[in-house]
């Protein structure tokens, strides 16, 4: 800064009013809010409105028919199945990996954390491709599985596997930093007092991490139900058998059955909105959990 | 060097055993199969596969559009993060929650919705039609979809850093005579740079691999609006497993490079904060 500008800024009204000088002039604030809100409205609100608008294009009856069509119902069922397996398995994995990583020191810890993150940085198409290369007809183990009458690719197990892959790190990623922050003091105290490993986990650790865990589960579930790319590669698009909700949307859309496509899409959009609300509600409690002071001490009544 | 060095709590064997088994079965083994499959190609074959004109055209679109989208997200994402942290306005909590919509909304839904909006008869597309500009089924449409999908990354990496900035630093700058503009551009923004780079890279990495939200709006014309992930699927549908694998390996390599770069920037930023 040159001498001149320094003098100018000292003389300027900002320098005389410390409160105002710590924020921007009113016109700047309103312009930035305007630009930010407009950007969000254009890119985020408009698609939301469009989905529900297009879904109800041909009236309520058409909408209800589209979402209760047998093919839609079977897609809903498959979506629920694959989300169930992904959430349960990845939650168990999330807890186990966070326990191993945060309660012990071992060689290669950072490498392990990076490896857990891999599915986030891999294109969903590649997530599907790797299972085709393993279990597909030309795949590494494909022939063995097919000879033993186990169909994985173009069948439900492949869809479940691909969904598990893309949602793999969600729970783990929330729990590792959370449990790192909380430390092991409470668990070690319980150990000294004679608690067993499982007692420590159920009575000490789990209550301490419950909101972070739920937060991870919400994210995992949303992604599992909405996954498209990975599932598309392994599904084979067999109607009524290997179609999840997002794939059903694609099929209807490609058949130029736009209103029905948006009707089914509106179910997924509704799920996304519920996810956002749940995330906001759980997120507030999760933030509290992240504070180092254990919640049990905070809520103790003062005598 | 022992594998397990410290820790008095029980359950190391069980939790580590499950973690490594599950990680190997779901992630590492399948990825190894991908690499292994590439070895069925000779090196010249591999190079031919990944540099054929159609594949090269898809790289240009995928990386070009991803780059532009990440730049736009870095600018507008920063504005959104700034107003969410620094200002109060009506509907702020709704805007804050909405930022995560691209994470929560299934990509296929985003894809058909953006196409409907930007198609020549769509609510925004028809505004541009008289000007002779088509958005859907062009690289412009691809870029818009990638902006949508990458927006949360920049906002969500900048937000916590902005929140944790010490207001005393800005007061100090003020008391030393810096103008507000000078304080923001020379004091506040530079401390955001590591998070900014991280947000940009995450947004870019996501865009490069994105499939669902792009495949509807792109129109998928070979050499023109065909993205690289789609090309993998096209080759798979033609039972060209080796070709699909070769392109997959290239994309995987790029993803890993980006992942390592992001980790590196975050490590650097962490050290930076400790020193000061």
The yes-or-no verdict on residue A51 having pLDDT over 50 is: yes
List chain A residues with CB under 8 Å of B177.
6, 9-10, 15
Write the residue in A6, A119, A140 that is nearest to B27 by C-beta: A119
Asked if A50's CB is within 8 angstroms of B123's CB, the reply is yes
Decide: helix, strand or coil at residue A147: helix
> Are residues B128 and B241 both part of a single domain?
yes
A91 contacts A220 by C-beta, under 8 angstroms: yes
What region does A196 belong to: left with phi over 0, alpha with psi -120 to 50, or beta? beta
Q: Return the pLDDT at A142.
A: 78
Domain assignment of residue B171, given as a range: 42-275
Distance from CA of B238 to the nearest CA of A (A): 13
A86 contacts A164 by C-beta, under 8 angstroms: yes
**Nearest-CA residue of chain A relative to B147?**
A43
Look at the block and give the residue holding tokens 């392994």: A234
Asked if A22's CB is within 8 angstroms of B113's CB, the reply is no
A55/B257 Cα distance (integer angstroms): 41
The yes-or-no verdict on residue A5 having pLDDT over 80 is: no
B113 contacts A51 by C-beta, under 8 angstroms: yes
Structure confidence by residue, pLDDT tens digits, B161-182: 998 888 888 888 888 888 888 8
Asked if B205's CB is within 8 angstroms of A130's CB, the reply is no
The yes-or-no verdict on residue A93 having pLDDT over 60 is: yes
Rg (CA), chain B: 23
**High-pLDDT (> 90) share of chain B, %:** 50
**Nearest-CA residue of chain B relative to A49?**
B113
> Are residues B179 and B106 both part of a single domain?
yes
> Are residues B55 and B24 both part of a single domain?
no
Give the pLDDT mean for B80-102: 92
A92 contacts A168 by C-beta, under 8 angstroms: no
A105 secondary structure, DSSP code:
E
> Are residues B33 and B85 both part of a single domain?
no
Q: Return the pLDDT at A19.
A: 56
Look at the block and give the residue holding tokens 């003091």: A185
Tell which wins on pLDDT, B232 or B179.
B232
Write the residue in B30, B83, B95 that is nearest to A130 by C-beta: B30
Write the residue in B34, B108, B112 that is nearest to A133 by C-beta: B34
A298 falls in which pLDDT band (50, 70, 90)?
very low
Q: Return the pLDDT at A302.
A: 41
User: H or E stretch including B6?
Assistant: strand B4-6
Asked if B105's CB is within 8 angstroms of A272's CB, the reply is yes
Give the pLDDT mean for B84-100: 91
Give the pLDDT mean for A17-30: 74
Asked if A112's CB is within 8 angstroms of B19's CB, the reply is yes
Interface contacts A/B by beta carbons within 8 Å: 315
Asked if B91's CB is within 8 angstroms of A246's CB, the reply is no
Q: Is B259 on the interface with A (CB under 8 A)?
A: yes
**Nearest-CA residue of chain B relative to A165?**
B26
Q: Return the pLDDT at A4.
A: 47
Choosing among A129, A160, A223, which should be mutated to test the B contact, i.e. which has the most B CBs within 10 A? A129
> Are residues B31 and B101 both part of a single domain?
no
Q: Return the pLDDT at A292.
A: 58
Q: What is the mean pLDDT of chain B?
A: 88
Lowest mean pLDDT, pick from A263-267, A289-293, B178-182: A289-293
Angle at A223 between CA A166 and CA A71, to 5 degrees: 105
In chain B, how many domains are there? 2
Structure confidence by residue, pLDDT tens digits, B42-83: 898 899 888 999 999 999 999 999 999 999 999 999 999 999
> Are residues B53 and B21 both part of a single domain?
no
Asked if A104's CB is within 8 angstroms of B6's CB, the reply is yes
Q: Return the pLDDT at A1.
A: 45
A71/A168 Cα distance (integer angstroms): 28
Lowest mean pLDDT, pick from A75-89, A96-110, A193-207, A233-247: A233-247
The CATH number for B60's domain is 1.10.3720.10
B230/B211 Cα distance (integer angstroms): 7
> Are residues B220 and B174 both part of a single domain?
yes
Structure tokens at A57: 């294009």
Q: Please state the φ and ψ torsions of residue B155, each to the nearest 5 degrees.
A: -60, -45
> Are residues B73 and B13 both part of a single domain?
no
Distance from CA of A79 to the nearest CA of B (A): 12
Interface list for B 46-75 with A (CB within 8 A): none
Q: Return the pLDDT at A211.
A: 93
List chain B residues with CB under 8 Å of A130.
30-31, 33-34, 248
Asked if A265's CB is within 8 angstroms of B108's CB, the reply is yes
Q: Is B226 on the interface with A (CB under 8 A)?
A: no
> Are residues B91 and B137 both part of a single domain?
yes
Q: Return the pLDDT at A18.
A: 52
Q: Is B43 on the interface with A (CB under 8 A)?
A: no
Most confident of A82-86, A140-144, B235-239: A82-86
The yes-or-no verdict on residue A167 having pLDDT over 90 is: yes
Asked if B33's CB is within 8 angstroms of A130's CB, the reply is yes
Asked if B256's CB is within 8 angstroms of A279's CB, the reply is no
Q: Please state the φ and ψ torsions of residue A291, each to the nearest 5 degrees.
A: -65, 140
Structure confidence by residue, pLDDT tens digits, A189-226: 999 898 888 999 999 999 999 999 999 999 999 999 99
A179/A185 Cα distance (integer angstroms): 11
The yes-or-no verdict on residue A20 having pLDDT over 60 is: no
Most confident of A33-47, A58-72, A86-100, B127-141: A86-100
> Are residues B2 and B92 both part of a single domain?
no
A37 falls in which pLDDT band (50, 70, 90)?
very high
B154/B144 Cα distance (integer angstroms): 16
List chain B residues with CB under 8 Å of A106.
3-5, 16
Tell which wins on pLDDT, B4 or B267.
B267
List chain A residues with CB under 8 Å of B4.
104-106
Structure confidence by residue, pLDDT tens digits, A116-163: 988 988 999 999 999 998 888 777 787 788 888 888 888 899 999 999
Q: Return the pLDDT at B273.
A: 41
**High-pLDDT (> 70) share of chain A, %:** 89
Write the residue in A22, A104, A225 that is nearest to B4 by C-beta: A104
Distance from CA of A297 to the nearest CA of B (A): 22
pTM assigned to the model: 0.87
Q: Return the pLDDT at B270.
A: 64
A248 falls in which pLDDT band (50, 70, 90)?
very high
B37 contacts B31 by C-beta, under 8 angstroms: no
A236/A155 Cα distance (integer angstroms): 8
Q: Return the pLDDT at B6.
A: 63
> Are residues B50 and B33 both part of a single domain?
no
B266 contacts A131 by C-beta, under 8 angstroms: no
List chain A residues with CB under 8 Å of B76.
35-36, 39
Write the residue in B16, B178, B208 that is nearest to A100 by C-beta: B16
The yes-or-no verdict on residue A6 having pLDDT over 70 is: no
Q: Return the pLDDT at A21.
A: 63
**Nearest-CA residue of chain B relative to A252?**
B112
Q: Which of A32, A289, A58 is nearest to A182 (CA)?
A: A289
Give the pLDDT mean for B13-19: 93
Choosing among B212, B261, B262, which should be mutated to test the A contact, i.e. which has the most A CBs within 10 A? B212
Q: How far, in Å, are A275, B43, B71, B149, B154 from residue B202 at the CA level?
A: 22, 31, 12, 11, 8
Alpha helices in B105-240 (DSSP H): 107-118, 125-128, 139-164, 167-175, 180-183, 189-209, 212-215, 228-237
Tell which wins on pLDDT, A142 or A273.
A273
> Are residues B24 and B59 both part of a single domain?
no
Rg (CA), chain A: 26
């Amino acid at each position: 800064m040159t001498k001149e500008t320094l003098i100018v800024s000292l003389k300027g009204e900002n320098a005389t009013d410390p409160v105002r000088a710590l924020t921007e002039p009113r016109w700047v604030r309103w312009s930035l809010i305007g630009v930010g809100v407009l950007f969000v409205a254009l890119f985020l609100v408009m698609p939301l409105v469009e989905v529900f608008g297009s879904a109800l294009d041909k009236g309520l009856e058409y909408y209800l028919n589209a979402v209760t069509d047998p093919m839609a119902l079977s897609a809903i069922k498959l979506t629920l199945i694959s989300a169930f397996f992904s959430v349960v398995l990845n939650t168990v994995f999330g807890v186990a990996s966070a326990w191993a990583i945060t309660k012990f020191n071992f060689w290669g810890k950072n490498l392990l954390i990076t490896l857990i993150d891999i599915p986030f940085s891999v294109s969903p198409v590649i997530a599907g491709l790797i299972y085709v290369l393993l279990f597909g007809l030309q795949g590494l183990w494909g022939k063995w599985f097919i000879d033993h009458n186990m169909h994985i690719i173009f069948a439900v197990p492949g869809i479940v596997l691909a969904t598990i892959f893309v949602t793999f790190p969600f729970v783990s990623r929330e729990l590792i930093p959370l449990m790192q922050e909380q430390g092991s003091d409470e668990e070690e105290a319980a150990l000294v007092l004679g608690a067993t490993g499982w007692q420590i986990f159920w009575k000490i650790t789990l209550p301490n991490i419950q909101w972070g865990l739920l937060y991870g589960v919400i994210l995992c579930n949303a992604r599992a139900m909405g996954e498209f790319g990975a599932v598309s590669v392994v599904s084979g698009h067999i109607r009524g058998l290997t179609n999840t909700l997002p794939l059903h949307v694609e099929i209807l859309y490609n058949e130029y059955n736009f209103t029905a496509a948006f009707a089914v899409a509106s179910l997924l959009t509704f799920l996304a909105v519920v996810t956002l609300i749940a995330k906001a509600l759980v997120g507030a409690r999760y933030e509290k959990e992240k504070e180092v002071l254990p919640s049990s001490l905070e809520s103790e009544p003062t005598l | 060097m022992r594998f397990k060095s410290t820790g008095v709590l029980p359950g190391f064997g069980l939790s580590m055993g499950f973690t490594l088994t599950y990680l190997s079965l779901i992630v590492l083994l399948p990825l190894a199969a991908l690499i292994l499959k590439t070895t069925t190609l000779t090196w010249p074959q591999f190079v031919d596969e990944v540099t054929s004109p159609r594949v090269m055209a898809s790289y240009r679109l995928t990386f070009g559009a991803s780059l532009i989208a990440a730049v736009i997200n870095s600018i507008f994402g920063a504005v959104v993060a700034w107003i969410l942290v620094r200002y109060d306005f009506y509907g702020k909590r709704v805007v804050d929650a909405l930022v995560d919509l691209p994470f929560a909304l299934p990509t296929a839904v985003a894809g058909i919705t953006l196409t409907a909006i930007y198609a020549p008869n769509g609510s925004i597309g028809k505004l541009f039609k008289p000007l002779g500009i088509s958005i859907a089924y062009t690289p412009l449409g691809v870029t818009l979809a990638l902006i949508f999908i990458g927006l949360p990354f920049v906002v969500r990496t900048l937000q916590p850093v902005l929140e944790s900035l010490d207001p005393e630093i800005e007061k100090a700058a003020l008391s030393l005579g810096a103008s507000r503009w000078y304080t923001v551009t020379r004091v506040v923004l530079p401390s955001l740079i590591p998070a900014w780079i991280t947000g940009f890279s995450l947004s870019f990495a996501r865009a490069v691999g994105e499939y669902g939200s792009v495949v509807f709006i792109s129109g998928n014309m070979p050499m023109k609006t065909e993205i690289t992930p789609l090309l993998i699927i096209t080759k798979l549908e033609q039972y060209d497993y080796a070709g699909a694998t070769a392109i997959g390996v290239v994309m995987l390599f790029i993803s890993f490079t980006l992942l390592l770069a992001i980790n590196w920037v975050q490590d650097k930023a962490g050290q930076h904060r400790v020193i000061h």
